[in-house]
Amino acid sequence: MSQDSNRPDSTRMIWRGVVEEYRNFMPVSEHTPVITLGEGRTPLIFAPELSSLKSAHVYLKYEGGNPTGSFKDRGMTLAISKAAEEGSQTVVCASTGNTSASAAAYAAKAGMTCVVLIPEGYIALGKLAQALIYGAKVMQIKGNFDQALQIVREFGEHSSKVTVVNSINPHRIDGQKTGAFEIVDTLGIVPDYHFIPVGNAGNITAYWKGYNEYYKAGITSSLPKMMGFQAAGAAPIVLGHVVDHPDTIATAIRIGNPASWDFATRARDESGGVISSVTDSEILEAYRFLAAKESVFCEPASAASVAGLLKSDIKPGSVVVCILTGHGLKDPDVAISQISVPEGVDATYDAISKELGV
Ligand code: AN7
């Protein structure tokens, strides 16, 4: 075979990342250097087992398919592109892990210094590895995410030299809203229900913004009900007050004072949806179910959306999308804790066949 025939088909569209693909909806100009890792276009996977359990059409938006393994890449491409346009050399964020991994990757791509503040002892191993290997300056603070975010807010106020890339930076939200565009573009319709985990509440805010922008542009003619789920031990929006010591096995959403609180309640109320909570055991049950029954391995926080679906009453025949925000390999410790790791067996056919009972 000649080399030429091995080349990719040039007529096949190359995905250019969410800023270019949805440029009409982005606050960018020809002067914006687009920093991208090809994020977005993540799988929308039909879930037959969940569909049959709920008598609905259930799809999983698998955000673990992004370049750093979480939905954060959608917002980080835009936040870092805008920081580059403004001439910023240093970015800073507080994080429960995924934001730090994503910020570290995109900052490295842009040649910027990245500083991340993470809660010591409460960040999944894969995320810590990512932030470090991408070359971020990692500060493990003796405190939780909410305290880290407070410090980062002070950086934003006191220093014009650093750009804050938490979701209080509106460019993060504008990048993340592309998830809603992709769902509509892929399904061809607007789902009836949108299930999503809620931590700092930036993502539910972003999806609601995305659905509304397509609606206002006349691309769609309906809006989904926004169904947000917090972990029971970290459920300030559900309780109606700040939680000083949030606690959950889903460390990604171990947040007691969400930055986008008001936007999240607005999304809930305007859409006729709910923000409710799921216990750690409900989260873990959904987490194991997704891997074993739907072959989709997500991280614990992501499974909060499906845990929420499992206990919600929805209209039969509805079209449902659950956002699975991050990859299962982010948190190998929780995965291993949920299964029993088999003991070693002698390296012989006899030993293996005896063990298998064949
Ligand atoms: C896998 O990385 O807040 O409600 O600092 O990593 O938009 O905060 C992560 C949040 C859900 C919640 N699922 O989204 C951070 C961080 C996963 C996450 C959420 C997060 P938001």
Rounded CA-CA distance 68/301 in Å is 16
Give the per-residue pLDDT at 2: 47
Atom of ligand 1 nearest to the CA of 166: 5
Question: Using alpha carbons only, what angle is made at residue 317 by residues 314 and 318, rounded to the nearest 5 degrees?
Answer: 55
Q: What is the pLDDT of residue 292?
A: 98
pLDDT attached to residue 12: 63
Rounded distance from Cα 200 to ligand 1 centre (Å): 6
- pLDDT-derived band at 9, boundaries 50, 70, 90: low
CB 77 within 8 A of CB 35: yes
Question: 96: CA distance to ligand 1 center in Å?
Answer: 7
pLDDT digits (tens, 9 = 90+) for 321-345: 999 999 999 999 999 999 998 999 9
Closest alpha carbon to 255 in 205, 206, 311, 198: 198
The per-residue pLDDT for 8 is: 59
pLDDT of 329 reads 98
Amino acid 160: pLDDT:
83
- Mean per-residue pLDDT for 46-62? 98
Question: In sequence order, which residues have a C-beta less than 8 Å from that of residue 326 and are 6 or more positions away?
Answer: 63, 64, 69, 70, 71, 98, 252, 298, 299, 301, 302
CB atoms within 10 A of CB 142: 8
pLDDT at 346 over 70: yes
Is the distance from the beta carbon of residue 95 to the nearest atom of ligand 1 less than 6 Å?
yes
Query: What average pLDDT does this structure show over 29-42?
Result: 98
Cβ(68)–Cβ(130) below 8 Å: yes
Residue position matching structure tokens 């709910």:
274
pLDDT tens readout for residues 286-310 = 999 999 999 999 999 999 999 999 9
Cβ 236 under 6 angstroms from ligand 1: no
The pLDDT tens digits for 250-300 are 999 999 999 999 999 999 999 999 999 999 999 999 999 999 999 999 999
What is the average per-residue pLDDT within 96-106?
98
Half-sphere exposure of 246 (CA within 13 A, CB side): 34
Is the pLDDT assigned to residue 6 strictly greater than 90? no
* For residues 147-156, average pLDDT: 95
pLDDT at 107 (0 to 100): 98
Q: How far apart are CA 230 and CA 241, in angstroms?
A: 13
For residue 12, how far is its CA from the centre of ligand 1 (angstroms)? 33
Among 136-150, 153-167, 245-259, the least confident range: 153-167
**3-class state of residue 234 by DSSP:** helix
User: Which residue, by CA, sits nearest to atom 9 of ligand 1?
Assistant: 252
Residue 94 Cα: closest atom of ligand 1: 5
**Is 28 touching ligand 1 by the criterion CB < 6 Å?**
no
Residue 170 has pLDDT above 80, yes or no: yes
Mean local confidence (pLDDT), 108-134: 98
Measuring from atom 14 of ligand 1, which residue has the nearest CA? 199
Tell me the average pLDDT across 15-39: 98
What pLDDT score was predicted for residue 193? 99
pLDDT > 90 in the chain, percent? 94
State which ligand 1 atom lies nearest to the alpha carbon of 228: 4
Q: pLDDT grade, residue 161 (50/70/90)? A: confident
How high is the pLDDT of residue 13?
75
Grade residue 1 by pLDDT with cuts at 50, 70 and 90: very low
Percentage of the residues of the chain whose pLDDT score is greater than 70:
97
**Three-class secondary structure of residue 19 per DSSP:** helix
> Residue 59 Cα, ligand 1 centroid: separation in angstroms?
20
